[in-house]
Homo-oligomer: A and B are copies of this chain.
Amino acid sequence: MHQVTCVVHGGAGHWPDEEQEQALEECLAAVRAGWHVLQSGGDAVAAVVAAVVVLEDSPLFNAGVGSVPTEEGHVEMDAAVMEGKELKAGAVALVRSVRNPVRLALEVLKLGQEVMLAGEAAERWARAVGLATVSEEELIRAAVRRPTPPERIGGTVGAVAVDVHGNVAAATSTGGRRGKRSGRIGDSPVIGAGTYADNRGGAASATGDGEAILRFGLGRYAVSQLERGLSPAIAGGMALAEISRRLVGEAGLILVDRFGRFGIAHNTRSMPVAWLRSGCSRPEASICSIPEGRGPARLFVRGMD
Flag if B89 contacts A214 (CB, 8 Å).
Answer: yes
Flag A119-153 by CB within 8 Å of B: 1 or 0 each: 11110100000000000000000000000000000
Number of A residues near B (Cβ < 8 Å) is 40
* A259 proximity list for chain B (CB < 8 A): none
Partner of A118, one of B89, B93, B115, B216: B93
Q: Say yes or no: is A36 at the interface (Cβ < 8 Å to chain B).
A: no
* A181 proximity list for chain B (CB < 8 A): 113-114, 117, 121
Query: What copy number does this chain have within its complex?
Result: 2
Would you list which residues of chain A between 257 and 290 have a CB under 8 Å from chain B? Answer: none
Flag if A119 contacts B118 (CB, 8 Å).
Answer: yes
Q: Say yes or no: is A9 at the interface (Cβ < 8 Å to chain B).
A: no
Q: Say yes or no: is A185 at the interface (Cβ < 8 Å to chain B).
A: yes
* A87 proximity list for chain B (CB < 8 A): 215-216, 246-247
Q: Say yes or no: is A192 at the interface (Cβ < 8 Å to chain B).
A: yes
Q: Say yes or no: is A220 at the interface (Cβ < 8 Å to chain B).
A: yes
* A215 proximity list for chain B (CB < 8 A): 82, 87-89, 115, 191
Q: Say yes or no: is A171 at the interface (Cβ < 8 Å to chain B).
A: no
Contacts A191-B215, A217-B220, A220-B192; is A185 near B117 (CB within 8 Å)? Answer: yes
Flag if B183 contacts A121 (CB, 8 Å).
Answer: yes
Flag if A115 contacts B211 (CB, 8 Å).
Answer: yes
* A247 proximity list for chain B (CB < 8 A): 87
Closest beta carbon of chain B to A182's beta carbon, Å:
5
* A residues in contact (CB < 8 Å) with B: 82, 87-89, 93-94, 113-122, 124, 180-186, 190-193, 196, 210-211, 214-217, 220-221, 224, 246-247
12 contacts between A and B (CB under 8 A): A87-B215, A114-B180, A114-B181, A114-B184, A114-B185, A116-B214, A121-B182, A122-B183, A192-B214, A192-B220, A196-B217, A217-B217
